[in-house]
Amino acid sequence: MLSIRFVRGFCAVLDAAAVATIAHNISIWKRKAKSNITIRKISVSTISTLPSPEEDLEPVKPPDQVLSRLKEERDPVRLFRIFKDNACNPRLVENRFAFEDTIARLAGARRFDLVEDLLEHQKSLPQGHSEGFMIRIIMLYGKAGMPGHAIGTFHWMHVFKCERTVKSFNAVLKVLSSTRRFHQIFMLFDEVSTRFGISPDEITFNLVIKAFCEMSCLDSAYLLMMEMEKAGMGPDVFTYTTLISASYKAGRREVGNGLWNLMLLRGCLPNLATFNVRIQYLVNNRMAWHANRLLNKMTRMGIKPDELTYNLIIKGFFIIKDNEMAKRIYLSLQDGGCEPNNKINQTMVHYLSEGGELDLAFRICKESMTKNWFPSIESINKLLRLLMTSSHEESAREIMNLVRRRVPSYSVEGMKALQDIIDGGRKELKSGA
C-alpha cells in the first residue's frame, strides 16, 4: 500500500514548473472556463494530382451494387471515383466496413491525396454537422497514417458547424497515441481548456497517463493520477493497470506492488488485463506458484483466464524447472474444453525440447501444424536437431513434410536451414552404419 510519505516522494521528483502548469489547468477545468478559440490552419501537401472528372472511367453501377463494385475494384483511382460519386448513398456512408476498407486500401496504395480529397468532401456533406461523424473522420485519418489531418479536423470542426466536446478531443489523443506522437498529446492536453473550453474526463486522463508511461516519464504519470483525483475523478482500473504495468517494466517493483495494494484498498477490482500484468511480473521473477494462486483467485472472482494467462503460468513453471506442473496445466486446458492456441503450443514445444521430452514435443508440434498453427522456425530448428541426434529420424521427416505445406512458406533461408538439418542427420546415420 502506498504511504503518504511515498506519495509525497513522487511529487518531489517533479520540477516545480510542471506542477504549477498542471495545477493551473486543473483550476481552469473546475471553473469550466470558456475562451475565444484561435484557430491555426494546418498546411496540407498533396502527394499527387487528383483524378479529373474527365477521366475515361466505367459508369458507376446502381446504388444496390455499389458495395460489391467497391469490393471488386483494384485500381485506387477508380475506387476513389466510385466512392466519391456515391458519397450521399446511405448504404455506403453508413457501412463502416466499406468506408474503412476504402480508406485503408487508398492509404495502402500511398494515395494519401485521394484519402484527403475523399474525407474532406465527406465533411462538407450534411453528416459533417455531427460530432460522431467527425470523430469517425478523425479516426480514419489516424488509420491512414495521417495524424496531422486528424488534428486539423478537430481544429476546424466549428467551420462545419459541428460542436467540439471531450469525445472528439479524446479521438485525437487516441490517434496521436497509436502513431506514438506523445509530445503532441502533452501540448494539446495543456491547451485543451484555455483554447477549446473543454474539460478532460477519465478517458482523457488515462490516455495522457499512458503517453507518459510510454515515454518512461513515470513520475509525471503518477502525479497526473493524483491531479485526476483532485479534479474529482478517481483512478479507474485502466489507470491502475497502465501504471502497474509501466512500473514493473521499469523495474519499480515496490511502486507496482504499492499500486496493486492501493487499487484493492480503494475497492477498485482488477480486470483480466490487470491480473495478466501481475502474473507476468510474478513469472518474470520466478514466482510461478504465486502466479498460480493468483490464477485461482481470478476464477473465484468470476474472471475467466484467457490464453495469455495460461501461457504465462505454463511458462512460469517451465522457467523454475517444474515441467510436471506445466504439463498438468496444459492437459487441464484440454480436459476443461479450452483449446490451447498457437502461443501455448509454441511454449510447450520450446521448453519440452529444451528439457529433452522429445516424444511429447513432437506430438504437440505435429498436432499444432495439422491445425495450421506453426511454431517459430527457431523452435522447429531446435526440435529437428534433437530428433535427428536422438535417432528419431522418422519423426523429424514427418515434421519437415508438414513444414513444407505451410502457407505462406517460411523464408528460403529458413527452409534451407531446416533441410540441412535433415540432410546432415542422414549423412551422420549413414557414416555411423
Which residue ranges form the domains of the chain, and what is each CATH number? 1-32+199-268 (no CATH), 60-193 (1.25.40), 270-340 (no CATH), 364-433 (no CATH)
Spatial neighbors of 177 by CB under 8 A, at least 6 apart, are 185, 207, 210, 211, 214
pLDDT the model gives residue 104: 92
Mean pLDDT of all residues in 64-70: 75
% of the chain residues with pLDDT over 70: 82
Q: Report the distance separating Cα 42 and Cα 39, nearest Å.
A: 9
How high is the pLDDT of residue 36?
Answer: 37
pLDDT at residue number 427: 52
**Mean pLDDT value of segment 157-161:** 91
CA distances from 229 to 78, 128, 226, 331, 387 (A): 53, 36, 5, 46, 59
Give the single-character DSSP code of 14.
S
Distance, in Å, from the CA atom of 71 to the CA atom of 56, rounded to the nearest integer, reads 20
Mean pLDDT, residues 64-89? 83
Determine the Cα–Cα distance for residues 336 and 424; give it in Å rounded to an integer: 42
Instruction: Judge whether 274 and 296 are in contact, CB under 8 Å.
Output: no
Q: What contacts 162, CB < 8 A, 6 or more positions away?
A: 128, 129, 130, 131, 134
Q: Is the dihedral of CA 343, 344, 347, 353 positive or negative?
A: negative
Residue 69: its pLDDT value, please? 81
For residue 186, is pLDDT > 70?
Answer: yes
Average pLDDT estimate for 149-171: 94
Confidence of residue 82 (pLDDT cuts 50, 70, 90): confident
Q: What is the mean pLDDT of residues 58-85?
A: 75
Backbone angles phi, psi at 226, to 5 degrees: -65, -40
| Cβ atoms within 10 Å of 335's Cβ, excluding its own | 7
The three three-digit cell numbers of residue 184, written as one number: 503532441
- Whether the predicted pLDDT of 8 surpasses 60: no
Q: Are 137 and 168 in contact (CB under 8 A)?
A: no
pLDDT given for residue 73 in this prediction: 81
> Which residues have a Cβ under 8 Å from the Cβ of 86 and sit 6 or more positions away?
60, 63, 66, 92
| Mean predicted lDDT score pLDDT of the chain | 83
Q: Which of 241, 246, 254 is CA-nearest to residue 217?
A: 246
pLDDT tens for 383-417 read 999 999 888 889 999 999 999 988 888 899 999 99
As given in the structure block, the three cell numbers for residue 100 are 474503412
**In this structure, what are the phi and psi dihedrals at residue 417, rounded to the nearest 5 degrees?**
-65, -40
> So what's the pLDDT on residue 335?
67
> pTM of this prediction?
0.76
**pLDDT tens-place string over residues 324-377:** 999 999 988 876 667 788 899 999 999 999 999 999 999 999 999 998 899 899
Cell of 134: 467527425
Q: Looking at residue 114, what is its pLDDT?
A: 94
- CB atoms closer than 10 angstroms to residue 84: 18
